[in-house]
Structure formats: C-alpha cells, structure tokens
Amino acid sequence: MNRTLVGFTLGACLLSSAAFAGEHVVYDVNGKKYEGYWSKVSDTAPLVLLIHDWDGLTEYEEKRAEMLNELGYNVFAADLFGQDIRPTKVEDKKQHTGELYKDRAKLQALMAGSLAEAGKLGGNLDNTVVMGYCFGGAAVLESARAGMNARGFVTFHGGLKTPEGQNYQQTKAPILVLHGTADTAITMQDFAGLAVELEQTELGHEMITYGGAPHAFTVFGSPRYREDADKKSWDAFKTFLEAKTM
C-alpha cells in the first residue's frame, strides 16, 4: 500500500508531528528484539495499544498515535514482526503475517509482550483499549479470544474469522468492528459469521459497516482510501474510547 500521508480533514484531530513527540522503543519478547513507538501525553492518561497492518510499524501508525494523543490518550504502537522488519513486497508481507497466523501461540505472546512493554513505559494497564488495522485487527481479536485484560477491542477492516478451536468465551471486554461492505478480502459473510458468534457468546459488541468502502479504507494516500468512511469510523472509535476509558 502507498504510505504517502496526505491531508486528513478531521479538524482538531489533525496535528503536526511535532505536537506530541513520540519515541521508538526497542523491547524484547522471548529473546527477539522488536521496535515499537511510544507516544505519551500524561502519567494518568488512558492507554491505547495500537497494532499495525501487514506493512509493519510505519509512519501511518505513528500518525494515528499522534491523533490519539490529541484526544488525550497515551499510545504504544507495537511491533509484531521484529526490529527493522518492515516489508515492502507483497510476498514478504504475506510471509510475515502468514507465519503468525500459523503460530497463534507466538502471536498471542507478542501481543501480551507488547502490552507488558507499554506498562513498563508508564501506560495504564487498568485503563486500556486495544485496536488495530487489517492484520492488526486480526491480532486484536486473537488477544480478545485469549483473554487479554482490556476495556475494549477495536478492529478497522481487520480479519474476522475465528480459527478452529478458538472462541470468545474468555473475552473480557466489548468489541467494536469497523468494516467496509466493499471489502473483498474480508467479506460480509465473514462479518455476519462473527456477528452470529458474538451474539451466541452473549458478548457485548458493536459492528458497523460503511457502504462502498473497500479493504484498507483508512489508509491515507492509498487508492483504497475513503475519506467519508475514515471519518465516520474514527468518530465511532472516539465514542467507544470515551465510553470505555473516561
């Protein structure tokens, strides 16, 4: 995907990169180095754990972190691929995400390790929402099923299928799903299947679709970007954050 950042008209949510100066943080999970991005506004602010898509942690996640800072949240943008692993070719992106989809225990450990690192940096682990984009959205739901302690889980155009042998019985907080009806990678059949599963589990959830929005509709500068769906989904996310953390 094209990662060129273009103008994003969210009014007060748009800020210069200097407004909240984040820092890159190298951390260890099971003996391997990862490099996340920590962006803090105060010692007492709620925490958002932000998970990248299949490009790895890039300027896109850093910009989203700054937008969340503007709203009053500390943010740790995690790295699930490894330090200096930022794939640019589709085959490499498929390789890195595929390895984690095949090793769910490792994916869960990376999510847990990233959340623990956020706590070490000063993030409030008692007041946390976990969110992610595309592959990151699938990772968020993986953590929800694994019983991660959080006040909410949010996925933007993320993978929605539940792997065989998993369920949401251990999930401890509500889920918000933000999805495009024109997404051909994660279909509306996947969306409906998750809705049925969450309802049967009696788990609190809200699932919103955006007409005409394809996969990755939030990615600035991409041919897939849809400004209207991006604004509406961001507003839904803000409302969810306010309800769960404030």
Query: What pLDDT is recorded for position 236?
Result: 98
Residues 178-222: tens digit of each pLDDT? 999 999 999 999 999 999 999 999 999 999 999 999 999 999 999
Query: What pLDDT is recorded for position 17?
Result: 42
Q: What DSSP letter does each residue of the chain carry, written as one string?
A: ----------GGG---TTSS--EEEEEEETTEEEEEEEE-S-SSSEEEEEE--TT-S-HHHHHHHHHHHHTT-EEEE--SS-TT----SHHHHHHHHHHHHH-HHHHHHHHHHHHHHHHHTT-EEEEEEEEEETHHHHHHHHHHHHT---SEEEEES---PPPTT--STT--S-EEEEEETT-SSS-HHHHHHHHHHHHHHT--EEEEEETT--TTTT-TTSTT--HHHHHHHHHHHHHHHHHHH-
Q: Which domain, by its residues, includes 98?
A: 23-245
CA distances from 186 to 94, 108, 137, 138 (A): 15, 21, 11, 11
Query: What pLDDT is recorded for position 85?
Result: 96
Main-chain dihedrals φ then ψ at residue 177, nearest 5 degrees? -115, 125
| pLDDT at residue 3 greater than cutoff 60 | no
Residues 102-141: tens digit of each pLDDT? 999 999 999 999 999 999 999 999 999 999 999 999 999 9
Q: How many Cα atoms within 13 Å fall on the side-chain side of residue 198?
A: 24
Find the mean pLDDT for residues 158-185. 97
Of 10-24, 66-80, 97-111, 122-136, least confident by mean pLDDT is 10-24
Find the mean pLDDT for residues 34-62. 97
Q: Is residue 10 part of a domain?
A: no
Q: What DSSP letter does each residue of 224-244 carry, written as one string?
A: T--HHHHHHHHHHHHHHHHHH
Find the mean pLDDT for residues 71-82. 98
CA distance 205 to 150: 14
Q: Is residue 37 part of a domain?
A: yes
| pLDDT at residue 227 greater than cutoff 60 | yes
Average pLDDT, the chain: 93
Token pair recorded at residue 51: 């998970």
| pLDDT at residue 5 greater than cutoff 90 | no
Query: What pLDDT is recorded for position 14?
Result: 41
Query: What pLDDT is recorded for position 246?
Result: 72
Q: Is residue 237 part of a domain?
A: yes
Q: Is residue 124 part of a domain?
A: yes
Query: What pLDDT is recorded for position 164?
Result: 94
pTM: 0.92
Domain containing 141 — which CATH number? Answer: 3.40.50.1820
Over the range 214-237, which residues count as b (16 or more CB within 10 Å of their CB) and which as e? bbbbbbbebebbbeebbbebbebb
Q: Is residue 16 part of a domain?
A: no
Q: Is residue 8 part of a domain?
A: no
Q: Is residue 5 part of a domain?
A: no
Domain count, the chain: 1
